Chains A and B, each alone.
Chain A
Amino acid sequence: MNAPVRTLHPLAKDRPLEKLALSEQIEFRNVTKLYSQVTAVRSLSLTVGRGEFLTILGPSGSGKTTTLMLLAGFEAPTEGDIRIAGKSVASVPSYRRDQGVVFQSYALFPHLTVRRNLEFPLEMRGIRSAERAARAERILSRVHLDGLGDRMPSQLSGGQQQRVALARALIADPPILLLDEPLGALDRNLREQMQGEIKGLHKEFGITTVCVTHDQEEALTLSDRIVVMNAGRIEQTDTPEALYDRPVSRFVANFLGDANILDDPSFAVESDTPQPDGTVAMIRPERIRISAPGATKSADADQRQHVAGTVTDMIYAGPLRRYHVAVGDNDVVIREHVAAGRQIFQIGDTIQLDWLRSDIRFVTT
């Protein structure tokens, strides 16, 4: 059950999206959604390729859930068009679309057994009961819930309910799977386990998946591409790596990981490329080295910028040590792995920071 088309997609980052037209599955064209005066989503354009795992990431109120609801057909766009496999679905109600949805609350029917829940989408498609039973049995064992078919949803643990919800969304083999904060209600260990589970199922079914989350870790581990949304607009769409490494805006830089914004005007940031207008310099904490003022310089010293600073705070966090350093008016965060022989600085120490000029990024404010 492997889907060869999927291999196209990691290329998405370098390729203009138009070239993917053949394999695109979902397309948003200038979609706007108004809720009595409040704009939830404004002129959003987006394409999702066949077999791709796309995550919409954003804080609450960014319009990400509205985008998913529009795609699922629970809301109709105020303006613009949504196309699935080339056909406009803007006025097609959800029950005439062919997609599986996993809800944040799982939305398992409390009055039906697990098996009846799983059979529901098949029943609605008019599939005979013998086949329904067989398919329910098959998918139950696929999500490791053999023997639990006769339980009521309330008799399952959170993780088991999550699996049933996933199984129910996938059982009818829909071409599209929508996930609304799928792991939000699970504790940390279970969440990691389920991430692997979702990834496995996605690979196995080759199903085009759109996931909505506010959890950056979830987005980074699961997705082929991530769409970062803010205030109803797309900030940036990219592969997880590109998004982390080359954020375009201050918002994206801050939302995904920690970012040091170097905006003190008295402090000149050196860079390999000229700084565009309306941007600020940004560098990730793990790209900065911290050392004593007179320490011997490394071999690549000519590619680095060296600045002096004062330690204002030091936080021990297990494998990492986090320093806050005042450089001019900027508060710079440095993350350093705890290792033997590494010098530990205290609050008030004057130290030296250095980083590669090529690690500086310019982000819009």
Chain B
Amino acid sequence: MLTLQKLTRASVVLTFPALCLLLLVFAIPIVQLFFNSINAPALSLVNYVTFFVHPANVRVLIQTIEVSIVATVICAIIGYPTAYLITAASKQVRSVLVILVLIPYLTSSLARTYAWVMILGDRGLINNLLLDLRVITSPLPLIYNRMAMYIGMVHIMLPIMILPLVSVMLGIDKSQVAAARSMGARPFSAFWRVFLPLSLPGLRSGALLVFILSLGFYITPAALGGLRDAMLSTFIAAEVQSSFNLGRIGAASFILLAIAMTVLAVLRLNPAGPKGNAASDRRNRFPAAGALVRHLTELGTLRRARRWNMHLYRAGDATHVWRFIGITVVIFTLLFLLFPGVVVIIVSFSAGTQLEFPPSGFSVQWYRSFFADPSWNRAALSSFEIAISVTIISTILGTLAAYGLSRSAPMLRNVLTLVLLAPITFPVIVVGIAAYLGLVSFGLVGSKTGIVLAHSIGAMSYVVVVVAATLANFDTSLEQAAKSMRAGPFRTFMRVTLPLIRPGILGGAVFAFLHSFDEVVISLLVSGLSIRTLPLKMWENIRHEIDPTVAAVASLLMLLPVLWLVAMYFIWWRSRSRMQAASARMLAAV
């Protein structure tokens, strides 16, 4: 009894169920994969040598890095000003804008990729339009090339860049920029010297998330890219389908993982959130240039000091043009994010035998065919079943783990957080292969239980991130207060902690559900072709353009995040005072 009590007082115990699941489904297999890659026990690097000997492989590797960097840079270039403008908007406008960014973020990436097929395809929106206008006589090759791949990738990744930026920018004390201006800084240098450095943590975590996701990206490159645009993940997937040589797969996976980890280590970012080493950030990056700039600044100070008063009362004047440019940028970004969804919804009501834009007539035939076709119904049903099981498992395990982490010593907490978040920091294809190997040893490949377990590890990571962020905001003296009033640990948790972190837990549950409901890559590997989830069936249809019903499914999937947002709004609205904090934390976490 006493030892049990002592054990339960060590809160790290609460992370054990989550760690157990992770160990069995993910960690042990990944070690196994590593040993396979070095031909253990022979310990040879032959698989790695073989990889690098083939120029084609090296080309794929370089291409993967190149595509990831370009996609990250484009996201940063579009995302930073957009985030800045969102932050600068009035409170109401801002929350609307954030929701408009959140909707695509929460929408199935499969549905969004499909939208670009609809737009860029040979019989897609653009080609049809140009053909109708007789600008061209035969369709332009817009799809299946590098350009289409970038458009699709940036479209998918942009919210992931914007959201952390917005959350960091909202946290910046505006009076600091005002202070810089009061000291004679022009608007631009106030931005450059004060705002930009303070917003760098957001830029860094956004860029990191985009880069790492791009590295392991499979769906969009495979659907929109050309044959020559293979990414490392495509290579690994092909290897899985053709030979299933574990040594070669392992080598490629660990090369991919090594790149991801190197970037993580170099940017020294804790994937748990965009907080962290802000202090090390403030060091001057360009000492020499800095001195020169400072000298020039001093020369201009007197004149500027005189102008400062004028400027103070003239804020709106010269900014008319800037206002216009700003609004245009935001509108274009949002159009880019939301328009493809609208296209799919419109197309899904096409009347003809094929999907077309603009539709020649209105019909709900594809919806009817979705609801009438047993194979679609079965797929939807399994997806719901799996997603609900995943949500329950991962919410319980993830919440316990997050709670345990928040009450553990900092060192232990950091290490365990990194471990628990591995399923969403590792390239998804690597996670899929690990999960496959893990399920093989339990004979669960091709079973619903197997898919549930494979989805649960990633879903759990999301729950841990969101709940941990909520808990970081939690005043522990509330728990102490409860205990001082004779509430034991269990009652304290149920009566005080749980009600207060409920928004975070529900937010985590939503993420867990969506993670499972949209998952393609891992499902593809562990379903063993015997189970079809909705995304798997959609993916098949998108690749082979069999059944236009997929447009109806995609449209329905677009509705899902809207429903979730409405639900979350009501959950948070009920705890109004905490809504602001919770949503800010959520943003910081995602």
Contacts and interface: CB of A to CB of B under 8 A. Distances in A.
Interface string A83-123: 00000000001111111110111011111000000001100
Contact of A107 (B478, B488, B489, B499): B478
B480 A168 contact: no
Contacts, number: 71
A109 B480 contact: no
B365 interface: no
B261 interface: no
Interface string B477-515: 110111111111101100110011000000000000000
Given A95-B488, A124-B491, A107 B475 contact: yes
A121 B577 contact: no
A125 interface: yes
A101 B481 contact: yes
Interface string A171-215: 010000010000000000000000000000000000000000000
B447 interface: no
A121 B477 contact: no
A154 B577 contact: yes
A110 B495 CA distance: 12
A327 to B, nearest CB: 44
B499 A72 contact: no
Contacts of B369: none
A265 to B, nearest CB: 46
A107 B485 contact: no
A267 interface: no
A164 to B, nearest CB: 12
Contacts of B489: 95
Nearest to A95: B483
A11 B203 CA distance: 66
A168 B485 contact: yes
B484 A111 contact: no
Nearest to B409: A36
B581 to A, nearest CB: 11
A178 to B, nearest CB: 8
Contacts of A97: 484
A98 B481 CA distance: 12
A335 B488 CA distance: 54
Nearest to B486: A124
Contacts of B307: none
A108 B481 CA distance: 8
Contacts of B575: 111
B485 A103 contact: no
B480 A101 contact: yes
B7 to A, nearest CB: 15
B414 to A, nearest CB: 15
B543 interface: no
Q: Which of B481, B492, B499 has the most CB of A within 10 A?
A: B481
A95 B500 contact: no
Given A109-B496, A110-B500, A110-B578, A172 B478 contact: no
Nearest to A103: B477
B141 to A, nearest CB: 59
A111 B496 CA distance: 8
Contacts of B478: 107, 109-110
Contact of A121 (B486, B492, B578): B486
Given A105-B475, A154-B577, A95 B486 contact: yes
A73 B496 CA distance: 19
Contact of B483 (A94, A104, A152, A172): A94
Nearest to A111: B499
Given A107-B478, A111-B500, A100 B577 contact: no
A52 to B, nearest CB: 20
A18 B173 CA distance: 57
Contacts of B487: 95, 120, 124
Contacts of B483: 73-74, 93-95
Interface string A135-155: 000000000000000001010
Contacts of B486: 95-96, 98, 121, 124-125, 172
B477 A107 contact: yes
A101 B496 contact: no
Contacts of B495: 120
B477 to A, nearest CB: 4
B484 A120 contact: no
Contacts of A96: 486
Nearest to B500: A111
B480 to A, nearest CB: 5
Contacts of A105: 475, 477
A94 B485 CA distance: 8
A100 B482 contact: no
A101 B484 contact: yes
B23 to A, nearest CB: 28
Q: Which of A73, A96, A100, A101 has the most CB of B within 10 A?
A: A101
Contacts of A110: 478, 500, 577-578
Nearest to B480: A74
B477 A94 contact: no
A124 B578 CA distance: 26
B485 A172 contact: yes
B484 A100 contact: yes
Interface in B447-492: 475, 477-478, 480-489, 491-492
A41 B495 CA distance: 33
Nearest to A180: B477
B480 A107 contact: yes
Contacts of B482: 95, 109, 120
Contacts of A121: 485-486
A46 B332 CA distance: 70
Contacts of A100: 484-485
Contacts of A172: 485-486
Contacts of B481: 101, 103, 107-109
A107 B482 CA distance: 9
Given A121-B485, A121-B486, A124-B487, A103 B480 contact: yes
Given A111-B499, A124-B491, A72 B484 contact: yes
Contact of B485 (A74, A124, A152): A124
A154 B575 CA distance: 12
A95 B495 CA distance: 14
A313 B526 CA distance: 83
Interface in B203-226: none
A93 B5 CA distance: 11
B399 to A, nearest CB: 17
A169 B500 CA distance: 21
Interface in B392-435: none
A237 B438 CA distance: 65
Q: Which of B478, B484, B486, B492 has the most CB of A within 10 A?
A: B484
Given A110-B578, A111-B499, A111-B500, A99 B484 contact: yes
Given A108-B481, A120-B495, 12 more contacts: A93-B488, A94-B483, A96-B486, A97-B484, A99-B484, A100-B484, A101-B484, A105-B475, A109-B482, A110-B500, A110-B577, A124-B485
23 contacts: A72-B480, A73-B483, A73-B484, A74-B480, A74-B483, A94-B480, A94-B483, A94-B484, A95-B483, A95-B486, A95-B487, A98-B486, A103-B480, A107-B477, A107-B480, A109-B478, A109-B481, A110-B577, A111-B575, A120-B482, A120-B485, A121-B486, A178-B484
Interface of A: 72-74, 93-101, 103-105, 107-111, 120-121, 124-125, 152, 154, 168-169, 172, 178
The 4 A-B residue pairs with the shortest CB-CB distance in the complex, in nearest-first order: A121-B485, A107-B481, A101-B484, A124-B486
